[in-house]
Chain A
Amino acid sequence: MAKAFMAYPELRSPFEAKEIHPEGSATVLYQGKTITLSETGNGDGLLINPRDLGQINGFDIKPEGACFRDLCIPLNDQLLVEQNGRQWFNLTGFADLLDQPYVADHAASVWSFAEIPAKRANMMLDAMAPEIELTDRNGQVVRLADLKGKKALIVTWSSW
């Protein structure tokens, strides 16, 4: 039997235990971003301050709805929820409406969202590259959209 290689035993658990966010906060994961929310509404779903929506998924609250470029989702009392005189945006309800899958760990108050399918429609229809943002090893943000005018090879590899 050939010897197994690339086990990297020293890298199996390289991370020390630390808290994910301060007590009472919540964390949202979306497209490589980790967003800490200092306040959320009550309930099983994730109710966020409407002002936090943009930093999570790029949608803005406008009179015509929650909008990203030409896409506007009309708001109703299922998406904008009143609790004790405060208004919250129902982020998980919004995801359900957009068929956006997510996984939640309620005990840890962490919600992880997959990409919004509507944002990927152009790739599946006419092969337009997805608009992703990556951070390179120098800390520079690399947007595929910024590479227009050049040819690009994007290639994956791994240490394993």
Chain B
Amino acid sequence: MPVWQRIYEEINNPDFVIICAAQDTGGEAAAGPIFDAANPTYIQVIDEDHLVSSSFNFVNVPSAAWIDEEGRIVRIDEGTYSKVHELGVGDQSISFGTNVYEPALKDWVANGAQSKHVQSATTVAGNIRQHSAEQQRADAAFCLGNLFRKHGIDDKAEQYWDMAKALNPDSVNFIRQNLTLSEEGSAGEQFRAMRDNFERTGTDYYRPIDIEN
């Protein structure tokens, strides 16, 4: 989160806002300290029901939408990293992220509709993932599971989270959020197996970045 604060400060434009939404059923206990460590001045939301992901048809974090002054989305659904990250060493090392997103974002804030990174409504509408009735039902099941979890009814929480994952197997958010309840956590062996499978089968873990600087 510090990275968005740095970018927000560097852009320093009163007509630009960042809404950072933690997709975190663990609520304030899970996401609050991470926000606090970044000392942010942008809008901070802890979105326990993953409402932002559901509303924009995102399947993974970090994902983002750029919304212009008229309320129109001008870019959407890209792996929203500000740089290339390297994690781990040797065979277990992975790299992810991109160096082209941050300059593109700054160009848009500075140049608005004239920015070459602004996409037409037709392009954006085409880039928004379709969200089938089953996937929408998955969102409802996920929220139901969250309600039970927040009331300490873990068996029903698990039941409806499982329903959500079954109805929307493309949701990395659902899979990894669920793994936070496992012993190995959200980035352990199961996650790596899932990620390897996504890569092997060409499944869309993130929509490929389509930015030229």
User: B-contacting residues of A (Cβ < 8 Å)?
Assistant: 1-2, 4-9, 11-20, 27, 29, 31-32, 34, 99-103, 105, 108, 110, 112-115, 117, 120, 123-130, 132, 134-137, 142, 144-145, 147-160
Q: Name 15 extra pairs, CB < 8 A, besides A127-B125, A142-B45.
A: A4-B187, A8-B26, A12-B180, A29-B147, A32-B51, A126-B125, A128-B71, A134-B21, A137-B46, A151-B66, A154-B18, A155-B18, A155-B62, A158-B31, A160-B176
Question: Out of A108, A127, A147, which one reaches B124, CB within 8 Å?
Answer: A127
Please name the residue on chain A nearest to B21 by beta carbon.
Answer: A156
Question: Out of B45, B56, B112, B137, which one reaches A103, CB within 8 Å?
Answer: B137
Q: How far is the CA of A76 from the CA of B129 in the complex (A)?
A: 35
Contacts of B105 in A (CB 8 A): 153
- B170 contacts the other chain (CB 8 A): no
- B80 contacts the other chain (CB 8 A): yes
Question: Out of B44, B72, B108, B182, which one reaches A129, CB within 8 Å?
Answer: B72
Q: How far is the CA of A34 from the CA of B76 in the complex (A)?
A: 28
Shortest CB-to-CB span from B151 to chain A, Å, is: 5
Contacts of B23 in A (CB 8 A): 156-158
- B208 contacts the other chain (CB 8 A): no
Please name the residue on chain A nearest to B108 by beta carbon.
Answer: A151
Please name the residue on chain B nearest to A9 by beta carbon.
Answer: B183
Q: How far is the CA of A159 from the CA of B185 in the complex (A)?
A: 11
User: A-contacting residues of B (Cβ < 8 Å)?
Assistant: 1, 4, 13, 15-24, 26-32, 34-35, 43-47, 49, 51-56, 58, 61-74, 76, 80, 88, 92, 105, 108-109, 112, 121-122, 124-125, 128, 133-134, 136-137, 139-141, 143-144, 147-154, 156, 160, 163, 173, 176-177, 179-189
Contacts of A15 in B (CB 8 A): 149-152
Q: How far is the CA of A144 from the CA of B69 in the complex (A)?
A: 11
Contact A132 B140 (CB under 8 A): no
Shortest CB-to-CB span from A127 to chain B, Å, is: 4
Q: When A and B form their complex, what is the total count of cross-chain residue pairs whose Cβ atoms lie within 8 Å?
A: 258
* Known contacts A4-B189, A27-B147, A134-B19; A151 and B184 CB within 8 A of each other: no
User: Can you give 21 A-B contacts (C-beta < 8 A)?
Assistant: A13-B181, A18-B151, A100-B136, A112-B141, A115-B54, A126-B72, A127-B74, A127-B125, A129-B67, A130-B56, A134-B51, A137-B46, A148-B70, A151-B66, A154-B56, A155-B18, A157-B21, A158-B61, A158-B176, A160-B24, A160-B176
Shortest CB-to-CB span from A56 to chain B, Å, is: 14
Give the interface centre of A6, A15, A155, A158 by most chain B CB atoms within 10 Å: A158
Question: Out of A12, A18, A125, A155, which one reaches B20, CB within 8 Å?
Answer: A155
Contact B136 A114 (CB under 8 A): yes
Contacts of B58 in A (CB 8 A): 156
Contact B15 A149 (CB under 8 A): yes
Contact A6 B64 (CB under 8 A): no
Question: Out of A117, A125, A154, which one reaches B19, CB within 8 Å?
Answer: A154
